[in-house]
Structure formats: structure tokens, C-alpha cells
Structure 1
């Protein structure tokens, strides 16, 4: 079992820190989520990432409760869906997420997508600021925001997101966006950090994995860690849940990092385009 004390953490703007490796539950059915979360917490994960639209917040809450871990030892993230992107809808949606999770506060709450065509993400961000100021959530952030979206909410509220959770993997490395994050002091968090498996058969990753006696997935997660990115791999397979956390015993060389960086390509995006996706 991996020791939780060795998992690095990344400091967030408000003074909180988030474990650099978390457990994602996207596409995990609610009925299977409690067991998956329990397995993850048993393996040593201390960060769980869910969302209202995933339909499994109740399962996440049940898994956390069953673990018996103190509340302050588990970092819990959820997200506001597009249907609640309005000033009057944010607080009720947030409270419903808390109720399903069985929690009295969140560690991180994100706007899931900017949905720019609706023109409501700025007012929604203002309401997230109010939730944070009321002590209901420790840190607030966004997901799938482009630089223009970030600039708009910062200009309107004076509050910079702690995190921007975006699609990020070797085939879609988002270098320009990550540089903007560095300039603004925003932590980059990767969803689909393994490219939903699409990159794992690449011979570059295979050769690096063989050199270290690890799997291609472990190589990619190590690449994320060395880049300073927070990653939230998802699995419901016990062996993979454990293996995804077991990436602290080796280090990629500068040449190996450069080789993985070279896998980035113009058509590497898997998910929707945030500038065009409106729900």
C-alpha cells in the first residue's frame, strides 16, 4: 500500500493544498461509486473529484463515510453544471450537491464549463465567490476555461480561480493555457490525464515504461507530477486504482520528459471545444 504521506500536494491560492494525485469518478455509475471510492481511499488517495452532472455524488459521499476517515483528511471537489449557470441557481445547486454528498462543506467547487454562448459564467463566478466568503467551500475554481474566460471573471470580480481543470494529456498538452495559468497563479488540474487510454499504446511511452519497469499509464502520471499538474485518473479496477497512485518511486529524465512532450499534436483533443460547447 502506498503511504499517503508521500503523495505530494500543491498549494492553492487561499492557503489550502490539494493532493497532486486524486481519484476521478467520471462515468462511474452511482451504484458502483461507493465501492470505487472506498477502494481508492484504502489505496491511499485523499482527493475525490465528482460533479453534479456525473450523477454519483451520493455514491461518493457513501464511500467517504464508509472509509471512517476524518473529514479533514479527504479533499472533496464537485462542480456546477451548465443548467445552474445563473445568479439565482448557483446556491441551490451547490446545496443539492452538499446534500447528496452528505457533507456540510466542500474543499473545492468548480464551474464545470463556461458555456460562453449562454453569457452567464461571470455571474455564476460571482456567486461562487459568495459561497467561499460564506465559508461553505474552502477554494473555488473553474473547469474548461480558456484565457478569455479567465480574464473576464477576474476583471469582473477581482477574484482569480484557484484551479482550472482542463483536458490535458501528452497528446493535448495545452502549453499556452498552462503558461497563462502560471502567470495568474492558477493551478492546472488535468481531467483525462491518460487521454482516456488513447495515448498509452504509443511506442515512446512503451520504451520509457520498459526502462523504469512500470506501465505506460504510470509514466504519463509521473509526467504530470513532474510538470506540477494535479491529475485525477479514473478506474474501477482495484489493481489499476493502486497502480495509478504508485508513481512516486521513479523519476523521468529530462530527455524522457522531452520525448513525452513531443507527443503533443494539433488534433489531440478528445473532449468538446470550450469555446463552442454550451451544454
Structure 2
């Protein structure tokens, strides 16, 4: 395994430390050739980004039957990268659950990508409040079967995350260990608010920052032409308006706006990992500069971006 250039954090107490950078799956691997994907995977393992988010997008708002997971699996096998030297994170969806059970979803997802197991899995967005005892039991059945080692949640309301933690304790099984939340320079209320903040401070959960560039707006200043994550709170125009300031601050630190955004997330002690999409080697190389910036100037980065917090008035408990 390549030597890490940044202190690694485990997703849970006593767990294996994971790379601080992660490459996302949505609209990622289907935006490059196979050779480019192979090169990106190889380089990612050298640049503290050997954590890969893999999902089959086939239901709910993601009913697009994307091939990005299949393409990733093909590129991973062609790369020759050691499976034990990387972290693979899968997704479970609640849009058609329990009609489409977790085991059915996971086996299909693993099969499409040509994998035997995931290291961790994130239970995704939901349209209605799930049957929590059943949900916790089904995820733990996957853990018992050896298909996955740990699990987490994706943008859940805090009340339901707390319910999952309590239910796991009641059943005496594995609780969620990581919260994958929208988090970045502009969106901070959920991850830094009292509700999730208390769980992070207590070490009950770690944070995986996702959608940190707001669909690319905070990386390039351009409005995305492709499908991107939801605009929670309807504040995307306000977020776009802060890009010039983000670019100015980034230039002052000698990094790209994207690297600045990642460094901001890493400067939060709760953050175990930052998930982003990169479709070119140059992007990955530039984003890696975030690690040195976070190590050397984390507090200064946060101070310089204090005025860029856009969602201050959005509820911090995940209820919109």
C-alpha cells in the first residue's frame, strides 16, 4: 500500500483507517475512456484517494440505469490495484424498499461491478420514514453474511439517524458509523449544527463530506449542465454568487477552488473522508493539494471562508 501523506481516520472506533479522499460514482466513470479510468484508479491509490464510492443508479430520482458501476469494475480489474489496499463503499436505496430488499440490491450491485464485497455501505435517501427495526436488521444480515463490514446513512434527518442508533443498541447489532452529508464551504448547517455535531463530537459517527462543489459550481464557477444533487433549501443561486470570493481565497493560498473546498471540509475534525467526482487525472492531482493545505493552514482556511456560509438559516437537523 502506498505511504499516506495525510493522517488517516477510521470510519468507526477500532476500524481500519481510510484514505482522506474518495472518488464518487455518480456521473464519474461514464465520463472518461477505460484507459483514463484505469489510470485514474491507479493514481488515486497513490494520492490518498483509494476510497471508491460505487452505486447502481436505477430507482427513485436516480432511475437512469447508469453503467458507471459496471465501468468502474472493469477499470478496477484492469488496473491491477490490490483489492486489500483500497476501500469500496456501496449504496443501498430506500426508494423501493422493502419491495426491493437490501440483499437483492447489494448482490446485484456487487455482481454488476464484479466485486465480492464492500467494505462499507451507505443507506441512501428516502421518500418516507423507513421501518427502522427492519432496516437495521436487514443491514446487519449483510454484515453477518460477510458482504459488507460496516454501514452509514446518507442525508438522513437527525431524528431518524438517532432512531437507527437506538434500534441497533436494542437489537445488540452493528450501528451506523458514518454520516454521508452534503457539506462544504457554502452548506454547513447540517454537518456543523448541534444535532449531528453532538454525534460527531461524541465519536458516535464520523463525517463523509459529499457534494462539496455543489455540482461543480464552487470548483469552476459554472452552472452544471448535467444532473447534479438536489438544491436543498433553494439556495443554489446564492451559492453561485460566492464563487468569486472562493476563487479569490483559493488564489491567495495558491490552490484551485476545488482544493480549497476539500481542505475546508478536512479542517473539520469530524471529517473522515471527502467524496468528490474527478474525471481527469489533472483534477485529482490538483485536488490532492488540499491535504497539504489542510495540514498546514486548516484554521486559516476556515477563517478566510467565514463569510461564505450560505445556509446559516437552513435548519440544521436535516428537516427542510
TM-score, normalisation: structure 2: 0.75
Deviation at 1:48, TM superposition (A): 0.7
Which of 177, 193, 197 does residue 212 from structure 2 map onto?
Answer: 193
Q: Helix, strand or coil for the counterpart of 1:129?
A: helix
Which 4+ residue blocks in structure 1 deviate beyond 6 angstroms?
Answer: none
Q: In structure 2, how many angstroms separate the alpha carbons of the residues matched to 1:179 and 1:125? A: 23
Aligned to 1:256: 301
**Kept in 2: contact 1:33–1:56 (CA 8 A):** no
Structure 1: 5+ residue runs without aligned partners? none
Deviation (angstroms), 1:46: 0.7
Cα distance per residue 1:119-150 (max 9 Å; x no partner): 34552232111211222212111111121011
CA displacement at 1:184 relative to structure 2: 5.2
Partner of 1:170: 185
Q: CA RMSD in A?
A: 2.7
Q: Report the Cα distance in structure 2 between the residues aligned to 1:196 and 1:252, rounded to whole angstroms.
A: 25
1:24 corresponds in structure 2 to 24
Q: CA deviation at 1:7?
A: 4.0
Change (3 A) 1:36 1:93: farther
Q: Give the equivalent residue in structure 1 for 2:233.
A: none
**Aligned pair 1:10/2:14, yes or no?**
no
**Superimposed CA distance per residue, residues 155-206 of structure 1 (whole angstroms, 9 cap, x where no aligned partner):** 2222431111111111111211540331352111111112223234534323
For 1:145, the equivalent position in structure 2 comes to: 156
8 Å CA contact 1:122–1:152 kept in 2: the answer is: no
Q: With structure 1 as the length reference, what TM-score do the two structures score? A: 0.85
Kindly state the Cα deviation for residue 256 of structure 1 after the two structures are TM-superposed.
3.1
What residue number does 1:48 align with? 52
Match of 2:75 in 1: 63
Q: How far off is 1:65 after superposition?
A: 0.8
Q: Deviations over 1:76-100 (max 9, x none)?
A: 1110122452287111111111111
Determine the C-alpha separation between the residues in 2 that align with 1:62 and 1:134: 25
Could you say what secondary structure the match of 1:72 adopts?
A: helix
Instruction: Say yes or no: does 1:238 pair with 2:245.
Output: no
Equivalent position SS for 1:262 = helix
Q: Which of 99, 105, 115 in structure 2 is aligned with 1:93?
A: 105
Matched residue of 1:132: which SS?
Answer: helix
Report the secondary structure of 2:308's partner residue: coil
Q: How many residues align?
A: 270
Paired residues of 2:102 and 2:139 also in contact (CA < 8 A): yes
Q: Is the 8 A contact 2:179 2:206 kept in 1?
A: yes
Structure 2 SS opposite 1:266: coil
Distance 1:35 1:274, change over 3 A: farther
Secondary structure at the aligned position of 1:189 is classed as strand
Q: Give a deviation string over 1:12-67, Cα, whole Å, max 9, x none.
A: 22512221111112123647475554233222331111212154221111121111
Contact 1:39 / 1:241 at 8 angstroms: preserved in 2?
A: no
Change (3 A) 1:146 1:35: farther
Give the Å deviation of 1:236: 1.0
Q: Does 1:221 align with 2:262?
A: yes
Aligned-partner Cα distance in 1 for 2:162–2:275: 25
* 3-state SS in 1 of match to 2:70: helix
Q: Measure, in 1, the Cα distance between the counterparts of 2:197 and 2:140.
A: 24
